[in-house]
Structure 1
Amino acid sequence: MANVAPILGTKTKADSQSRKAILFRTGGLGDFVLTVPLLREIGRHFDEVLLITRPRYFSFADSLGFSLKLGDADIFDAKKVDFVQGATVFTFWGDEDWIDELRRAGVAEVRVLASRPDAPPHVSARMFEDANLPVPKDLFERSWLESETPAGTSLWLHPGSGSTEKNIPLSVFVGQAEAWLA
């Protein structure tokens, strides 16, 4: 993976202060994909980013548009990773004991994100609110993974989890399909 780098800071960030961020993201493919816009925004605002996730999602790192470090969620131990010192952590896990463990390991701030919000906005927009980061104006209007434009006669769309609270309205998928077919 050419885009996974141990040293970052090669592009100008939105904030001038040097900072580190860690995003913990487990769950299924749909959950991971819904988090990609947030991960990219974290990459804009922080000089160094560590993504702790399942190894099966590591291959997405080359499509994010910035370099980051990767860690395996199944074996991550905050007490044994120097990167946590002074870092801002973004997590969907709200367990107080685990948050206390992160703080004892030297994390500067923990921002807990709602994984199953029970009210609007859409979970993808809610992540930004909980993360205290600006919601991109084009959140629902663009591809967040840098990849080739689809070619051929098939277009695959992943609708999400099946939960009406998490999914983008069907009309957005119809619009994407119509634009692709045009």
Structure 2
Amino acid sequence: MSGNIFLPKKAVVLRTGGLGDFLLTVPLLVIMLEAKVQLTVVTRRSYFEILGENCAKMSFMDVEKIFDSTETESLRDNFSEATVFSFWKDRDGSLEEILKSYGINHIVTLDSRPNQPPHIVQRIFQDIGIQWKEKYYTRSWLEVDGLHGDCLWVHPGSGSSTKNLPVSWFVRRIRRWFSNGGKKVVVSFGEADLDVEKEFLQNCGKMPLEILHPSTFLELRQELIAKAVLFVGNDSGPTHLASALGIRTEVVFIGTNPAIWRPLGENVNLLSPCEVNQSDP
């Protein structure tokens, strides 16, 4: 890994947050694996399952075990002599004290919610000392072989109303897909998208749609790989997953800054609010 100032032999990454937040940490995990770092990821199990073949190359620990006194032996095995990269706030230093009791070398605290550019992945790399390369913006970090979907996949929600484009825009986007000869459309909704789903179903008419409610992120990953040829969505976890897998992705940013939060991938098209407002999709 020429140009990298600092990559330890053994590392533990502490990362929770939303799905999109975790996916924007995946480049760090992949770079560490490519550098042959002995890596443990502490996160939610539902996130670990989306890493595909990378799962076999690292260790996983459920976030809840960090504070479980019955897990002391396994914690010491994973943390002893490791450098810890943490996205968790530790205002009173209690987390660091716990980790020191497991024998860590030291802890590097990383900003999980920057409010200024550069892009969060570039910031993470630079803060650690990993040389940033422009090609990283267009790398699909969870790329899989065998993408063979033929569906337009639309995800009109995001879990936050401030990030959601009007449902009517997605309905028009679907109609344009059909008018241009597209045959199949999948529309997905998450647990936090109940209001969006209700409004969408009231406005989509009788278009032939497959409505999906993936119960796990692993199911979402599998369905995307099998079905999606084009993904359209807001700044959301599913959008970041689609782009990371290498699926052609169109994403609209209206409540967050794409200079910080844009999905990384080789087939990502960013749509600005101005573009959305000035033309029918």
Please give the TM-score of this superposition, normalised by the length of structure 1.
Answer: 0.74
1:140 paired residue number: 137
* Residue number among 46, 50, 68 corresponding to 1:56 in the alignment: 46
Are 2:118 and 1:121 aligned? yes
1:6-17 alignment, distance < 5 Å: none
> What CA deviation, in whole Å up to 9, does each residue of 1:4-24 have, x standing for no partner?
xxxxxxxxx779x98211111
Provide the rounded CA distance (Å) in 2 between the counterparts of 1:160 and 1:129.
25
Aligned length: 161
1:163 paired residue number: 256
SS of residue in 2 equivalent to 1:130: helix
Are 2:14 and 1:24 aligned? yes
* Residue number among 36, 51, 56 corresponding to 2:26 in the alignment: 36
Whether the 8 Å CA contact 1:40–1:65 is kept in 2: the answer is no
SS of residue in 2 equivalent to 1:74: helix
Provide the rounded CA distance (Å) in 2 between the counterparts of 1:66 and 1:136.
26
> What CA deviation, in whole Å up to 9, does each residue of 1:138-160 have, x standing for no partner?
21112000313353142225634
Provide the rounded CA distance (Å) in 2 between the counterparts of 1:108 and 1:102.
9
Instruction: After the TM superposition, list the runs of 4 or more consecutive aligned residues in structure 1 that deviate by more than 6 angstroms.
Output: none
Greater share of residues in helix:
2
Whether the 8 Å CA contact 1:52–1:72 is kept in 2: the answer is yes
* Residue number among 58, 71, 76 corresponding to 1:68 in the alignment: 58
Whether the 8 Å CA contact 1:31–1:160 is kept in 2: the answer is no
Letter in 2 for 1:26: T
Whether the 8 Å CA contact 2:117–2:260 is kept in 1: the answer is no
Please give the TM-score of this superposition, normalised by the length of structure 2.
Answer: 0.50
Letter in 1 for 2:111: A
SS of residue in 2 equivalent to 1:140: helix
Are 2:260 and 1:173 aligned? no
Letter in 1 for 2:24: L
CA RMSD of aligned residues (A): 3.0
2:247 paired residue number: none
SS of residue in 2 equivalent to 1:134: coil
SS of residue in 2 equivalent to 1:59: helix
Provide the rounded CA distance (Å) in 2 between the counterparts of 1:97 and 1:90.
16
Gaps of 5+ in 2: 153-229, 238-254, 271-281
- Between the aligned residues of both structures, percent identity stands at 31
Q: Cα gap change, 1:88/1:74 in structure 2, threshold over 3 Å: closer, same or farther? A: same
Provide the rounded CA distance (Å) in 2 between the counterparts of 1:91 and 1:118.
18
Worse-matched range after superposition: 45-54 or 31-40 = 45-54
Q: Cα gap change, 1:56/1:83 in structure 2, threshold over 3 Å: closer, same or farther? A: same
Provide the rounded CA distance (Å) in 1 between the counterparts of 2:34 and 2:66.
24
Whether the 8 Å CA contact 1:19–1:47 is kept in 2: the answer is yes
> What CA deviation, in whole Å up to 9, does each residue of 1:11-60 have, x standing for no partner?
xx779x98211111111111111111111112223431111110111212
